Amino acid sequence: MKKVTGLGGVFFKCDDPKGMNEWYAKNLGLGTSEYGTTFEWRQDDDPSKKGSTSWCTFPKDTKYFDPSAKPFMINYRVENIVELLEELKKENVTIVDEIAEYDYGKFVHVLDPEGNVIELWEPADESDEADAAG
């Protein structure tokens, strides 16, 4: 079973998310919104399938990274989140929450051995065909 298929995003806490977004836009050319930016790309093994990687700032007091006390969270793209979660449970990996489903995919949070929260994301279909149908 293929587990992680790529990097879905990098999320970090900061004192002034708006100011950070503006700095990165001005100085590094990131096309930011209030949530950060999304880098779109095509899958190397199947260029008809799109992908994306997010870069997002969060307020330093966000609870979204809980129970981790770290100021960052990594999001990994996965293929079959339900099957992967079953595998992780067998390995006694700490599962933080239940799978949440949205239009853009399924998410669940787990902890690594040092207590860093990891967000696993099974994206909704990102192929050109899905764009045409949507």
Count of the separate structural domains present in the chain: 1
pLDDT reported for residue 132: 43
Residue 75, domain CATH:
3.10.180.10
Joined together, the tokens standing for residue 134 give 């949507």
Query: Are the beta carbons of 111 and 118 closer than 8 angstroms?
Result: yes
Confidence of residue 45 (pLDDT cuts 50, 70, 90): confident
Work out the average pLDDT over 19-38.
Answer: 92
First to last CA, the chain: 29
The number of residues in the chain equals 134
The pTM score is 0.85
Residue-wise pLDDT for 56-106, tens only, equals 999 999 999 999 999 999 999 999 999 999 999 999 999 999 999 999 999
C-alpha 60, offset from chain centre: 18
Residue-wise pLDDT for 106-133, tens only, equals 999 999 999 999 999 999 975 444 444 4
CA distances from 65 to 19, 28, 34, 70, 106 (A): 21, 26, 18, 8, 17
> Which residue range(s) make up the domain with 103?
4-133
Work out the average pLDDT over 41-46.
Answer: 85
The answer, yes or no, to whether residue 9 has pLDDT greater than 80, is: yes
CA–CA separation, 105 and 130 (whole Å): 13
- The single-letter DSSP state of residue 36 is B
The answer, yes or no, to whether residue 37 has pLDDT greater than 90, is: yes
pLDDT reported for residue 126: 57
The pair phi, psi for residue 53, each rounded to 5°, is -130, 130
